[in-house]
Amino acid sequence: MEQRRIGDSDLFTSAIGFGTWEMSTKQYGYIDVKEASTAVNTAIDYGITLFDTAEVYGPYLSEELLSKAVGNKRKEIVLVSKVGFQYDDSGKNLGRNSQYGHVIERTEGCLRRLDTDFLDLLLIHWPDHETPFEETIGALEKLKKDGKIRYYGVSNFSTDMMDECEKYGHLTANQVGYNMFDRRMESKVLDHCLDNNIGFMAYGTLAYGLLSGAFTPETTFEEGDWRHRGLAFRLPLFQEEEFTKELKVVDRLKEIARRHEKSVAQLAIAWTTGHPAVSVGLVGVRNEWELKENVAAIDWVLEDEIRQEIDEVFSEEGVSTHVETEQAI
């Protein structure tokens, strides 16, 4: 499988990364944890080398499950986790916290749960607007100096925020949502990462299920499912009126994919990972069948004509790609 360099680091990753948000929580509907854990091990055999988790997934459960699933194959993968929240004793999320001591303490917890001496890449999950970036980067530099992490980066940071962080240390990556339905990163962030040797890790490659091809007009989301609120990182992707129009887009995208003997999910993966700034496209995997489907998209390089046809579908159906919409920070 194709290996890509993350920024200017010596970390190399498969074009598809294994995202573990889904396997840690009921926020994505029912998932068979045993099947998902088996898929982790199988993914390594298929050539997927990057596994992305975070302490907030669960919280903590994703890291614990991933550690068990990876087993003795730790040296074969690029292991990524994220910190930047604080919790009460019950695990309730109390908000963002990227203070010096907190970042170090929470990272130590990640290492214990993942049963590893170091992380290949540690990210600050969301910007903490109450803590100076100089303080946060100082903590990351300390962790790197002590051998607890090899590289560090951020997630959901704007270009101005990245520039401020770069005054105190070098970011290896920024992980932000990017897919056909959410192109906010095309306005600034993607080019900024490319120009400054910062890797871009795309999450939400399948638009949180929209581009899986599994949804119908009758699809609803249970109250515990985060999509039940209708918003996806401030975009109205799952509000009824928008959702109905988006499904018409997906139906037409299926036809494009079918002409090339591919699925709409494979089309979506090829579209995201085909951007020159994207180091890796993260995809949640529930079972081995989904894994095989995702991997089959890797070698598909979309021609400009296909990308243009996709854009025309969105335009004709009156569905926004949100290029000019403000980034969620």
Residues sharing a CB contact under 8 Å with residue 104, sequence separation 6 or more, in sequence order: 139, 142, 143
Does the annotation count 30 as an active-site position? no
CB 264 within 8 A of CB 291: no
Q: Across residues 270-281, what is the average pLDDT?
A: 98
Angle formed by the axes of helices 61-70 and 100-114, nearest 10°:
40
Instruction: Extract the tokens encoding 240.
Output: 């009824």
**3-210+265-301 carries CATH number 3.40.50.2000:** no
Of 57, 60, 178, 203, which is the active-site residue? 57
Q: What pLDDT was estimated at residue 299?
A: 92
2 to each of 71, 171, 299, how far by Cα in Å?
24, 23, 8
State phi, psi for 50 to the nearest 5 degrees.
-110, 130
Q: Is the pLDDT of residue 27 over 90?
A: no
Confidence of residue 25 (pLDDT cuts 50, 70, 90): low
Residue 285 scores a pLDDT above 90: no
Q: Which residue intervals of the chain are DSSP H helices?
A: 33-46, 61-70, 100-114, 133-145, 159-165, 189-195, 240-259, 264-273, 288-295, 304-317
* CA–CA gap between residue 279 and residue 288 (Å, rounded): 24
The pTM is what?
Answer: 0.97
